[in-house]
Amino acid sequence: MKCPADFDFIDPAVQSDPMEFLATLRHQAPVYREPRTGAYMVTRGKDIRYVAEHHEIFTSYIDPSVFLVCQGLSLEEKDPEVAAIFKKKARLIPHTLLLTDPPIHMRYRRLALEALSPKAVKALVPLIEQQVERFIAQFDSGKSIDFVAEFCERLPLSIIIQFIGAPDSDFELINRWAHQFFSTEMGQKSREEYLKTVDMMCDMFNYVERRIEAVQEQRDGTLLDDLMHAHLATGDEPLTIEELISIFHVFLVAGHDTTRQTLASGMRILATKPELFSQLQQHPEHVGSFIEETIRMFSPAVMTPRVAAVDTEIDGVSIPKGATVFLCWGSANRDEAFFNEPDQFRCPNESGKEHFGFGYGQHFCVGNRLARTTLSIAFAAFANRYGSISLMVPESELQYEPAINLRALVSLPIACVRKAI
């Protein structure tokens, strides 16, 4: 039997497939100090809930390098070179949804929830259906395609760019910006590549600022428009331009990446389990359950960090002030204390929406309704249109990006065969 010391957290192989490592921690060292980084990894659902519920002890005010591209607070001291790029090219933007605690966080959360209300998401359904059809229509029946590149990376972004009212002609431009950011987010990149990302993110922020100015002059009914005017319903102070840019960036990071990964994970399951695809065709009402089980078993956010604001402890383990604490959502979603036979994919499943795939507590994903709607429309469309879906390479050849916090397939070659008429 392996023990925690048998794993190297920094090893790309472990980061590409961390589930065995996380299961070992969950069973042997549920609050584990990782020796290479000094960070504490929390792997049981009950402890993760405790950390997520106590922001006064475990703060979200963190500064991992990936967020430096949208960091505006004390940036001159933390990374003068990045600060210089921002000063030359774009605005410094503040922390909003991801890296704040209550009560500041609650203002941003109220405004985002107002813009992403059930009514607002329902109004987006025709747009989502249109975008799903747009990308599916490009697939030739029986021809091999990379589902990650041709669908997963494109559908969520096409919806998010509608958030700011960008024209379709700008899709490839924004896609290049997003691809550069996500490529830097995956694993360790050179300083040169990181600074290139900062430079391109400045270009994107300036683009979003121009869209904000356009909406200020003429309301256009986009989600950006809704967000800019959400304070009229919530009674909060209106968002500044810097805050609006920051929230768009959060939507890009959280909304695009997690939906992309869930689309890929779900299609991998359908391409390797034809009986399950047949089930969705015969029972469309099971699509929602299929999505929830995909999110549970293949958590798009494997772990996210907090920082101990005081000396404290978790389940008897001392945590010093200033220590990084990783909430391992991917492990909590396989916790036997919460789920029966958690390593088995069950559809329909008894756990329903009671999983950790969208987080927990004050930072529960504000875009979960939009994500679920997008995923439901997409998978229902494939079940309606195609008679079969096949994986075009041995499943053992599929690879995941080596990243600490994400679970992202590099590619997914599949072939979709249309239903016989």
* Comparison of pLDDT for 265 and 71, the residue scoring more: 265
Nearest Cα to Cα of residue 153 among 413, 376, 411: 411
Cβ-count burial of 135 within 10 angstroms (0-12 exposed, 13-18 middle, 19+ buried)? middle
Q: Would you tell me how many other CB atoms lie within 10 Å of the CB of residue 136?
A: 18
Least confident of 145-149, 209-213, 398-402: 398-402
How much is the mean pLDDT over the chain? 90
Higher model confidence: residue 394 or residue 79? 394
Q: How high is the pLDDT of residue 68?
A: 42
The residue among 75 and 266 whose pLDDT is bigger is 266
pLDDT tens-digit map of 286-326: 999 999 999 999 999 999 999 999 999 999 999 999 998 99
Taking residues 16-45, report their average pLDDT: 95
The pLDDT, as a whole number, for residue 147 is: 97
The pTM of the full predicted model, rounded to 2 decimals, is 0.93
387 Cβ neighbours under 8 A, 6+ residues apart = 417, 418, 419, 420
| Both tokens assigned to 36 | 């290479």
Identify the band that residue 36 occupies on the pLDDT scale cut at 50, 70 and 90: confident
Which tokens in the block code for residue 185? 């987010």
Q: How far is CA 15 from CA 9, 115, 237, 303, 379, in A?
A: 7, 35, 41, 11, 28
Q: What are the b/e assignments for 58-86, b being 16+ CB within 10 Å?
A: bbbeebeebebbbbeeebeeebeebbebb
What CATH number does the domain containing 235 carry? 1.10.630.10
Domain enclosing residue 154, as ranges? 4-418
Could you give the number of structural domains in the chain?
Answer: 1
pLDDT tens-digit series, residues 100-123? 999 999 999 999 999 999 999 999
pLDDT value of position 74: 44
pLDDT at 351: 67
Strand partners, 181: none
Query: Is 72 a residue whose pLDDT tops 50?
Result: no
pLDDT at residue 333 in the model: 97
pLDDT band at 400 (very low <50, low <70, confident <90, very high): very high
Q: How many residues does the chain have?
A: 421
Kindly state the percentage of the chain with pLDDT values over 70: 94
Statement: residue 73 has pLDDT above 70: no
Counting DSSP H helices and E strands in the chain, the numbers are 19, 10
Q: What is the DSSP letter of 91?
A: -
Tokens at 416, concatenated = 């979709």
Contacts of 167 (CB under 8 A, 6+ apart): none
Residue 151, pLDDT above cutoff 80: yes
**Mean pLDDT to the nearest integer, 329-335:** 97
Confidence band of 71 (pLDDT split at 50, 70, 90): very low
